[in-house]
């Protein structure tokens, strides 16, 4: 059975070996330092690892490491980064923790004597910095550059600057990416972008030189209550452009793609939700339904919803607007017990993640504790299919390589016993 067949069976809720995803998206990957450590552990050629996503400092997983980890998925992503420069023109850079990595040409950091590092939108150091890696840190925080708000002059088109039709350079990039994965036996997970309504990571627009509109995180959440017509106007324009781009991308991709990452908007905190079910129904549901309906009418792709946190009260709503997959399945959050989730929703949505806790067990536990939790999660989520193994969000810096290897070995042993 090929990797693609394993994933497709899981997506159809059919029993079989549990497929695995490491590295196919910006929410299912590993910090660049962990990628280098795994290459050393498995005896793979050592060289500077590409930072394929500089915001979270995620490392590229090459074919040899994907094979060593047993990953069943291949990822496709756009040519731009969260900071608005392209993933091209690679060069070496020594990160503050001492690792030499490869960064794109547009990665032009300003490194301060304090140890703080700043990045700039579109790689333009003449613009205000939009990213900050604090001294002693391992990834960047977005810098809020909210201009003073004048309620009388608020214009929702200013929050739509980033929603643009695919450019000719984008089409060249996507054609090359699709050619790269055609013929692969892995399932293909595409992240087109532009369909994640209200994603708080995107609100500050670290990719824009001079962001306009509502770009402060707190003000955006206030807007969900106080400025709903404004938010609807932003989402309506975003949806219009997204549907146009989906049609173009689908004509290029055809059946090469298996899964489309639609949404990275977080609706959950550790113990509650960022909005009520009623707010979800009014503000978000109409636009997610349009995107998911289009994908299901015109393609055979499954749609992927990312949301951290305690989202149990919203899972029925995610299903009702057409999402096929939920990630990262944060089992450490309130009311997110894996057994209950599987019993209540497992026949209607695929759980993609939840395999091990990346807040506590994976970074701070022992290999024995990691193996035990991974095995427990596999037993909870795998019966009857509908489960793709991944960690709960990305594997963070300073996670012991022995713990990551224990996780991989536990998956392999579980699938071996089930064969």
DSSP for 175-198, written as a single string: HHHHHHHTT-SSEEEEE--S--TT
Angle at CA of residue 313, ends 369 and 202, nearest 5°: 80
Written as tens digits, the pLDDT of the chain (419 aa) is 999 999 999 999 999 999 999 999 999 999 999 999 999 999 999 999 999 999 999 999 999 999 999 999 999 999 999 999 999 999 999 999 999 999 999 999 999 999 999 999 999 999 999 999 999 999 999 999 998 899 999 999 999 999 999 999 999 999 999 999 998 999 999 999 999 999 999 999 999 999 999 999 999 999 999 999 999 999 999 999 999 999 999 999 999 999 999 999 999 999 999 999 999 999 999 999 999 999 999 999 999 999 999 999 999 999 999 999 999 999 999 999 999 999 999 999 999 999 999 999 999 999 999 999 999 999 999 999 999 999 999 999 999 999 999 999 999 999 998 76
Give, for 253, the enclosing helix (H) or strand (E): helix 228-253
Q: Where are the beta strands (DSSP E) in 184-327?
A: 187-191, 259-263, 302-306, 325-327
Domain spans in the chain, listed from the N-terminal domain onward: 3-30+69-82+147-418, 31-68+83-143
The secondary element (H helix, E strand) that includes residue 209 is: none
pTM, two decimal places: 0.97
CATH 3.40.1410.10 fits 3-30+69-82+147-418, yes or no: no
> What does 16-62 look like in DSSP terms, one character per residue?
SSPPB-SSSSTTS-BBHHHHHHHHHHTTPPP-PEEEEETTTTEEP--
């Amino acid at each position: 059975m090929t990797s693609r067949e394993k994933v497709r069976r899981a997506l159809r809720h059919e029993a079989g070996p549990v497929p695995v995803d490491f590295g196919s998206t910006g929410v299912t990957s590993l910090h660049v330092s962990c990628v280098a450590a795994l290459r050393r552990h498995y005896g793979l050629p050592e060289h500077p690892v590409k930072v394929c996503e500089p915001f979270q400092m995620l490392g590229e997983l090459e074919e040899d490491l994907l094979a060593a980890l047993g990953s069943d998925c291949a990822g496709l992503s756009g040519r731009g980064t969260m900071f608005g420069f392209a993933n091209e023109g690679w060069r070496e850079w020594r990160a503050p923790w001492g690792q030499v990595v490869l960064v794109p040409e547009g990665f032009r950091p300003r490194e301060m004597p304090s140890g703080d590092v700043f990045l700039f939108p579109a790689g333009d150091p003449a613009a205000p910095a939009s990213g900050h890696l604090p001294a002693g840190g391992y990834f960047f925080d977005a810098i809020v550059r909210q201009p003073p708000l004048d309620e009388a002059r608020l214009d929702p088109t200013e929050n739509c600057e980033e929603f643009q039709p695919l450019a000719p350079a984008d089409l060249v990039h996507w054609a090359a990416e699709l050619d790269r994965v055609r013929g692969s036996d892995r399932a293909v997970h595409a992240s087109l972008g532009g369909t994640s309504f209200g994603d708080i990571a995107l609100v500050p627009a670290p990719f824009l030189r001079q962001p306009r509109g509502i770009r402060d995180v707190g003000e955006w959440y206030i807007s969900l209550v106080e400025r709903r017509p404004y938010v609807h106007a932003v989402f309506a324009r975003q949806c219009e452009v997204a549907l146009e781009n989906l049609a173009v991308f689908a004509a290029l991709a055809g059946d090469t793609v298996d899964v489309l990452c639609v949404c990275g908007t977080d609706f959950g905190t550790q113990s509650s939700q960022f909005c009520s079910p009623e707010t979800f129904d009014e503000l978000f549901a109409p636009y997610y339904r349009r995107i998911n309906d289009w994908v299901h009418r015109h393609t055979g792709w499954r749609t992927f919803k990312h949301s951290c946190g305690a989202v149990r009260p919203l899972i029925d709503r995610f299903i009702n607007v057409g999402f096929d997959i939920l990630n990262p399945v944060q089992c450490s959050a309130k009311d997110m017990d894996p057994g209950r989730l599987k019993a209540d929703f497992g026949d209607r949505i695929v759980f993609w993640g939840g395999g091990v806790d990346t807040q506590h067990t994976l970074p701070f536990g022992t290999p024995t504790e990691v193996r035990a939790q991974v095995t427990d999660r596999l037993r909870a989520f795998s019966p009857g299919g509908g489960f793709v193994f991944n960690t709960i969000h990305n594997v963070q810096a300073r996670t012991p390589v022995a713990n990551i290897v224990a996780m991989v070995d536990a998956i392999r042993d579980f699938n071996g016993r089930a064969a």
